[in-house]
Amino acid sequence: MQQILQNLKDGSTELAEVPCPRVGRGALLIRTTRSLVSAGTERMLVDFGKANPLDKARQQPDKVKQVKLREQRYLRERDKS
């Protein structure tokens, strides 16, 4: 089976031959004969992969906020003990 792999650190993409997933009990494996890659989404991921850590943070302010909130909670809990 072929799969598109993308390195989010440098934005490189490759088409790789990978083993088919195993089907567990009660699961279903669907054979796909056609697939579409969205150029806009893929371009966004490539650009994100090539960005430095500061630019990645600027592109995802909501995730930066989550990290800040977790840090604040951690510091409050640490100061209690």
Q: Is the pTM of this model over 0.75?
A: no
pLDDT tens sequence across 54-75: 998 999 999 999 999 999 999 9
C-alpha pair distances (Å), 31 with each of 11, 46, 58: 28, 27, 39
Q: Where are the domains of the chain?
A: 1-50, 52-81
- In the 8-state DSSP scheme, what is residue 8? T
Instruction: Return d(Cα 27, Cα 68) in angstroms, integer.
Output: 39
pLDDT surpassing 80 at residue 45: no
16 close to 2: Cβ distance less than 8 angstroms: yes
Report the DSSP beta bridge partners of residue 4: 15
